[in-house]
Amino acid sequence: MSEAATTPASVASGSSFYAAMKILPPEQRDAMFHIYSFCRKVDDIADSEGPRDERLAALDQWRRDIDALYAGHPPERVRDYVAPLKQFGLKRDDFIAVIDGMEMDIPADIRAPDAATLDLYCDRVASAVGRLSVRVFGLPENDGILLAHHLGRALQLTNILRDIDEDAGIGRLYLPRELLNDAGIASSDPDVVRLDPNLPKAALPLAAQARVHFQKADEIMARNSRRAVRAPRIMGKYYRAIFNKLLARGFALPRAPVKVSKAAKMSILLRYAFI
């Protein structure tokens, strides 16, 4: 996924995720950079302009490499994953889920998936990354899995709502079919849908779902160690700021790009990095 179909797997120097990772102790920070390096690499494959069969083959090679890693004979490009895997108990299934999620965009561009397919997509490209991450952060098992579930979906739904026009530019439409139908939008053509005056009627219920996930994530973080949730809280606050700007702007045309200023990002980082 490119920035037009951004996932929490997408991280770069200067991003909110990079900033959140930098505040971690060295071993946690290194583990998180390995996780996000993996995510970035498979993300780039999914988003490249290469032939679809070549991209599928490249992702399948990543599956084989992850299997070899967990079998005890890691290829060179995943050899550095051995230490964090053992130290933090990272699960093979979560790495594989991320690959499976990236693959969903390849055989054909996603266009108006049903709600169940969209939720599966969010689980794979976002919550699976969260499940790897919360083990590094040191959250208890049950709350860690719950936080990954809710915060991952909150972040991914925010991305979808933010990137409607950019996604349409690469032939993708992530708004679920059921919400489009309820809004009276019959088309699955991204360019047609983004120009439809009823689009806000489909976007607002998805925003309501994202709001619930943000609230559930906040509840989980509130009952856990502040130290363990510093990084996910920063990520959540960054994205909540984007989400609030989206709601304030609305989803009717014209839709101006929504961004959080550097000053606002710095304020969030300073507020939550050291509590």
Q: What was the pLDDT predicted at 266? A: 87
Q: Where are the domains of the chain?
A: 3-272
Tell me the pLDDT band of 4, cut-offs 50, 70 and 90: very low
Question: Percent of the chain scored above 90 by pLDDT?
Answer: 85
**Would the pLDDT of 152 be above 60?**
yes
Contact 190, 226 (CB under 8 A): no
Tokens of 172: 């993708």
Q: pLDDT by residue (tens digit) across 156-191? A: 999 999 999 999 999 999 999 999 999 999 999 999
Question: Percent of the chain scored above 70 by pLDDT?
Answer: 93
Contact 229, 264 (CB under 8 A): no
Kindly report which listed range (45-54, 61-70, 90-99, 111-120) carries the lowest average pLDDT score.
45-54
Contact 10, 41 (CB under 8 A): no
Tell me the pLDDT band of 16, cut-offs 50, 70 and 90: low
User: Which residues are 111's β-sheet partners?
Assistant: 173
Q: pLDDT by residue (tens digit) across 219-242? A: 999 999 999 999 999 999 999 999
Tell me the pLDDT band of 95, cut-offs 50, 70 and 90: very high
Q: What was the pLDDT predicted at 270? A: 85
> 3-272 is classed in which CATH architecture?
Orthogonal Bundle (1.10)
Q: What was the pLDDT predicted at 9? A: 42
Distance, CA of 79 to chain centre: 25
The one-letter code for the residue type at 177 is R
Q: pLDDT by residue (tens digit) across 250-265? A: 999 999 999 999 899 8
Q: How many CA atoms lie within 13 A of 267 on its CB side?
A: 7
Extract the runs of DSSP E, i.e. beta strands, from 72-195.
none
Mean pLDDT of 25-43: 94
Q: What was the pLDDT predicted at 3? A: 36
Mean pLDDT of 81-90: 97
pTM, rounded to two decimals:
0.92
Mean pLDDT of 187-209: 98
